[in-house]
Amino acid sequence: MAFFIGSFMQHSMRLFFALSLLCINSFFVQAQEKESYFPLTVKTAEKEVTFQVRLALDRETRAQGLMYVKEMPDTEGMLFIYPNESKRSFWMRNTYISLDIIYIKRNGRIDSIQKNVPTLNDDSRPSEGKVMSVLEIKGGLSDKLGIKVGDTIKVPLSWRLKAQW
């Protein structure tokens, strides 16, 4: 009987240790994903433009957005992904850099663009139609790079499947 209890305890401790490592690894992978940049390509009539974007897949990250960011390279942005298509509206509370807000339909077509949105204000900047994703890039870049309504941005399905409320 003592052998059985000792063996059971050994297996339980191993299982506990393995599950603990799995949980810790999962935590670090999620934390890394929030801070990682991923390539996102916009197809315009003339060319393709690739940005390195951070993903905003959950309520907390979408609420934070680019608040308190004081500088951002022209090659970077943030992509907000929602689990459904709906009218969206953004504001610039605590946002220190002017942004172009690009609203993207489920099929990847750009629905509308709010250009050079002024910093540090609570004015609502809505999409024209129902959208599933929103790309924020540095203000003025959509004009500079020729990004227009009707251009396409392919948001990978794997990213869309991770979007949460």
Taking a C-beta distance cutoff of 8 angstroms, is the pair 81, 108 a contact? Answer: no
Which residues on adjacent β-strands are paired with residue 90? Answer: 125
Stretch among 18-27, 78-87, 140-149 having the lowest mean pLDDT: 18-27
Q: Tell whether 6 and 67 lie within a shared domain.
A: no
Distance CA 127, CA 143 (A): 18
Residue 138: pLDDT above 70?
Answer: yes
**What does DSSP say about strands 48-56 and 76-86: parallel, antiparallel, or unpaired?**
parallel
Q: Which residues are registered as beta bridge partners of 137? A: 77, 100
Total domains in the chain come to 2
Give the span between the Cα atoms of 67 and 92, in whole angstroms: 8
Radius of gyration of the chain (CA): 21
Quote the domain boundaries for residue 20.
1-35
Q: Give the CATH number of the domain where residue 136 resides.
A: 2.60.120.1140
Mean per-residue pLDDT of the chain:
86
How does DSSP classify residue 25?
H
Asked if 81 and 34 touch (Cβ cutoff 8 Å), the reply is no
Write the burial class of residue 91 (CB in 10 Å: 0-12 exposed, 13-18 middle, 19+ buried): middle
Query: How do residues 4-16 score in pLDDT, each as one tens digit?
Result: 555 655 655 554 5
| Phi and psi, residue 156, nearest 5° | -55, 140
Q: Is 11 found in the same domain as 45?
A: no
Q: Are residues 87 and 145 in the same domain?
A: yes
